[in-house]
Amino acid sequence: MAKPLDLPFDPIERAAEIWGERFGPADAMAAVTSIMRAQQILLAGLDGLLRPYGLTFARYEALVLLAFSRRGALPLRVIGERLMVHPTSVTNTVDRLERDGLVRRRPNPRDGRGTLAEITPSGRDVVTRSTADLMAARFGMADYDPAELAEIFTLLRELRVTAGDFREPGAVAVSAPGTPPSAPRRRR
């Protein structure tokens, strides 16, 4: 993990002050920058916890997805959709997991051209052991109580719905053909 900077000031807060003087309201910029920095911090910490297993968080997510599936196997296309990543990223992730003996590729019996990624017994073992470590570390969120975690989840969930990641139950997609779906914003 990177050495802490231990700055005597908050650089995002300082940037927001300057932003406010030069451009106007800085609340959205400060929030986005804070989220991006938090993502960097969390990812570095999680990758550090997973390093002993030869995993990154991206590879861990793919393994967990396969472990959660009914048959322990999914088409590469479905893995990409569920993890919301580009097909090239899925291929690279599965390549690495396969090389490490945690996943194997096999033909998709339902699609003659498609390929399934299937978790191996070694992959299931790594998921079990690495998940125990992540749970013990509370996924890097140990400083937050359950109510705060629920609030964070709720705030970011709204952003994901608005971006079209998924629809709220009962919501109807209203986007025009060829445009990304969006959801109405919740009124406060």
In this predicted model, what pLDDT tens digit does every residue of 125-144 receive, in sequence order?
Answer: 999 999 999 999 999 999 99
The DSSP output letter for 46 is H
Torsion of CA 91, 97, 103, 107, to 10 degrees: 20
Helices (H) and strands (E) counted in the chain, each on its own, are 7, 3
Give the pLDDT mean for 64-92.
Answer: 95
Q: Which residues contact 83 (CB under 8 A, 6 or more apart)?
A: 58, 61, 62, 65, 90
Least reliable range by pLDDT among 2-16, 39-53, 72-86, 118-132: 2-16
The residue type found at 96 is R
Domain 54-158, second-level architecture? Orthogonal Bundle (1.10)
What is each CA distance from 31 to 9, 15, 36, 37, in whole angstroms? 17, 12, 9, 10
Phi-psi region of 168 (alpha: psi -120 to 50; beta: other; left: phi over 0): beta
Alpha-carbon distance values, 115 to 68, 83, 171 (Å): 18, 17, 33
pLDDT of residue 158: 92
Q: What pLDDT does 25 receive? A: 97
Model pTM above 0.85: no
Cβ proximity of 95 and 101 under 8 Å: no
Residue with tokens 């470590």: 133
Check residue 41 and give its pLDDT: 95
Can you tell me the mean pLDDT for 58-83? 96
Q: Answer whether 116's CB lies under 8 Å from 105's CB.
A: yes
Q: Enumerate residues 6+ apart whose C-beta is below 8 A from 64.
A: 127, 131
- To which residue do tokens 């096999």 refer? 106
- pLDDT at res. 187: 39
Rounded average pLDDT over 64-74: 97
Q: Tell me the pLDDT tens digit for each residue of 145-171.
A: 999 999 999 999 999 999 998 888 877
Mean pLDDT of the chain: 90
> Across-strand partners of 105?
117
Tally of CB atoms within 10 A around 79: 24
